[in-house]
Amino acid sequence: MNKQGVLYVSHGSRNKEALREAEQCIKMAQKQVQVPLQEICYLEISKPDIFEGIENLVKRGATHIAVVPVLLLSAGHYYEDIPKAIEDIKCLYPDITLTYGKPLGVQDRLIDVLVDRLEEAEIPDLSKARLLLVGRGSRNPETQRDIENIASKLKERIQIKTLDICYLAVLKPSFNDVLHHLDDQKNETIIILPYLWFTGLLIKSMKKKIESLNTTNKVIFCQYLGLHPNMAGALSDRVKEAILSTPVH
């Protein structure tokens, strides 16, 4: 008899609050997935790792396991790290059927989350402000295309004077470079909108850099995507897709 399991592969962090948020969001998604065997694991730093997560599901009787990346976009972890682990797992458990899900990707309901985060910031006149959408950045060209697509969709939804993109790693312009040029325009309202799922070192670093600015501009830092119901809903849909997807060979 086949017994379905789901393994959620989150990034992992030294920050306890980031781990708590990730676990809470995953548990919100789990409630929307009618599968009895569900486990959470981490790519790095935190435990259990992906191999321990699979082992836990196998011990509980899983014969089919959907491996679901808890990631916003397709980059190195999705294309390299997790598939490599899946290959190793197939050797360890040749009788287990494995399927592989997708990151959340570009979705209109995630744009809704960004709009909600802007509304929560209670910006007096958004149409006269400059918005910086901040992505994580990666070497995979899909990342830049996806962030540009997200920015385009967001611009269609809001009235904004200027919407610019910057990145925390690899891609240009960098967040640091953009901050250094904030005073090219004086007395503006600058809105920082992070396209990050959970809190952690990146969010803390961004806040610290903003606090250290000596600027005539008003800088507003918006909440990251976080524990919005749309995030859990999008993740649960990826789980359901992964369960039905073609097994990894």
In this structure, of 68-72, 154-158, 182-186, 199-203, the range with the lowest mean pLDDT score is 182-186
Arithmetic mean of pLDDT, 131-154: 96
pLDDT at site 216: 87
The residue-averaged pLDDT of 157-182 equals 94
Task: Walk me through the domains of the chain, giving residue ranges and CATH numbers.
Answer: 4-104+228-244 (3.40.50.1400), 108-221 (3.40.50.1400)
Summarize the confidence of residues 220-230 as an average pLDDT.
98
The enclosing H or E element of 135 equals strand 130-135
CB 137 within 8 A of CB 173: no
Categorize the per-residue pLDDT at 4 as very low, low, confident or very high, splitting at 50, 70 and 90: very high
Question: Higher-confidence residue: 127 or 186?
Answer: 127
- Residue 124 pLDDT greater than 90, yes or no: no
Average pLDDT over residues 98-120: 98
pLDDT (tens digit per residue) in 28-74: 999 999 999 999 999 999 999 999 999 999 999 999 999 999 999 99
Q: DSSP E strands: which ranges in 3-113?
A: 4-10, 37-42, 64-69, 97-100
Residue 148 has pLDDT above 80, yes or no: yes
Confidence (pLDDT) at 74: 92
* pTM summary value: 0.95
* 189 DSSP β-pair partners: 218
Q: Looking at residues 115-128, what average pLDDT do you find? A: 94
- pLDDT higher than threshold 80 for residue 140: yes
pLDDT of 1 reads 82
Does the structure show a pLDDT above 80 at 249? yes
* pLDDT exceeds cutoff 80 at 183: no
Q: CA 98, CA 86: separation in Å to the nearest integer?
A: 8
Q: Are 160 and 131 in contact (CB under 8 A)?
A: yes
% the chain with pLDDT above 70: 99
- For residue 10, give the amino acid letter: S
Over residues 175-196, mean pLDDT = 89
CA-nearest of 240, 245, 247, 249 to 6 is 240
Residue 75 has pLDDT above 80, yes or no: yes
Query: Tokens 């981490």 sit at which residue?
Result: 42
pLDDT band at 180 (very low <50, low <70, confident <90, very high): confident
Question: Quick one: the chain helix, strand, coil %, rounded to 5?
Answer: 45, 20, 35
Q: Alpha-carbon distance 157 to 239, whole Å?
A: 28
For residues 219 and 210, what is the distance between their CA atoms, to the nearest angstrom?
8
